[in-house]
Structure 1
Amino acid sequence: MVFIKKIGRTLLRFSQKVGAMPLACVAALAGILLGAFIWTPPLYQITYRPIATESFSMQELLQVDLNHADAQGLESLPGIGSKKAQLILDYRQIHGPFKSVQDVLQVKGVTQQMLDEWGDRVCIK
């Protein structure tokens, strides 16, 4: 409160020296600054709320679900290009979803060595 009284006295002296028009500009500026100073909460009062409520491991995020992946997702696996990805999609459409990761070996061109390379990067959900 004492701070505001000091500002008021300073504005009064300023208006006596320079006139009313500059005083109005200074008063408006002072009001804006005081409003920002008084109504802005300190940083320690701003609360942080995480958006995601579930936590995921990086491994889970990078896994490719063989039953739901599109061609681009399948192509992210080592040894799978656009042709093999399309073969996997066609097989899935004809025979239905894979029941296990090993079932993908029934797709022409997919080998056990490729499956070993994929390791934990593939899953069935």
Structure 2
Amino acid sequence: MIDKLDVIKDKLAVYKIWLLLGGIILIGCIVMIVIKQPKEVAVPTAYSMSSTSSSAAATSISPKTSVMIDVKGAVKNPGVYDIVNSPRAQTAIAKAGGLTHEADTIKLNLAQKLSDGQMLYVPVIGEVASNKVTVDQQGAESGQEMTKINLNTATAEELQTLEGVGEKKAEQIIAYREAHDGFKKLDEIKEVSGIGAKRFETLQDKITI
């Protein structure tokens, strides 16, 4: 009986040894699999890629600049217009509703590039050229024609296109001509408060009566 118990104990010991070896081999296999597993590579998401491309596009596009052009003469809707793209005479005239049937297109350069604050005057057919003066944005000579401002008929808005004449000064000029039944000569504008001899020198080539 004792011999049988010893045999059973020996067998159990052998089984324990095999189980231990099997566990060790299993753990070793798991460790090897984990070590050999490839590392994950971070892939940018669609959101991050689109954000990057949007940022690059935003930096490559420059902000649009607009210019203010005062369109007068033989156009359907004279006035001041804000032009963002293609600041040229053709665009400004289109903004003003287009030319009237009286417009003298021979004297127009539709491809002329315009600058901020410039006046674009469209003459009518047969208009006398002697009443015109050529000025650009700063008052220097250029290829753009505009009509001289008539002190006896000009509106307050038209008077404000003259250098140094603001809203208040335009109202004073109109008040003076109403009180004196119009201007009789050009230098009479010096009677208006704030317009002295020096200011008159800058205005005399741009005004008429």
| TM-score bracket for this pair, using the shorter chain length | 0.5 to 0.7
- The corresponding residue for 1:96 is 181
Amino acid of the structure 1 residue aligned with 2:178: Q
Deviation at 1:55, TM superposition (A): 4.0
Residue 65 (1) aligns with residue 150 (2) = yes
Over aligned residues, Cα RMSD in angstroms?
2.1
Structure with the bigger percentage of helix:
1
Residue 117 (1) aligns with residue 189 (2) = no
Deviation at 1:92, TM superposition (A): 1.0
Rg (Cα) greater in structure:
2
- The corresponding residue for 1:46 is none
Residue 54 (1) aligns with residue 126 (2) = yes
Distance in 1 (alpha carbons) for counterparts of 2:182 and 2:127? 27
Matches within 5 A, 1:36-55: 53-55=125-127
Length, aligned pairs only: 75
Cα distance change of structure 1 residues 55 and 98 upon mapping to structure 2, 3 Å threshold? closer
Amino acid of the structure 1 residue aligned with 2:167: S
Structure with the bigger percentage of strand:
2
Deviations along 1:21-78, one digit per CA (max 9) or x if unpaired, are xxxxxxxxxxxxxxxxxxxxxxxxxxxxx86541443528420001111101111111
Distance in 2 (alpha carbons) for counterparts of 1:79 and 1:53? 31
Deviation at 1:108, TM superposition (A): 1.0
Distance in 1 (alpha carbons) for counterparts of 2:165 and 2:179? 20
Cα distance change of structure 1 residues 55 and 94 upon mapping to structure 2, 3 Å threshold? closer
Percentage identity across aligned positions?
29
Amino acid of the structure 2 residue aligned with 1:117: T
Amino acid of the structure 1 residue aligned with 2:185: S
- The corresponding residue for 2:116 is none
- The corresponding residue for 2:190 is 105
Gaps of 5+ in 2: 1-102, 105-123, 134-144
Cα distance change of structure 1 residues 113 and 55 upon mapping to structure 2, 3 Å threshold? same
Residue 85 (1) aligns with residue 157 (2) = no
> So what's the TM-score if we normalise by structure 1?
0.53
Deviation at 1:102, TM superposition (A): 0.6
Cα distance change of structure 1 residues 55 and 67 upon mapping to structure 2, 3 Å threshold? closer
Distance in 2 (alpha carbons) for counterparts of 1:64 and 1:122? 5
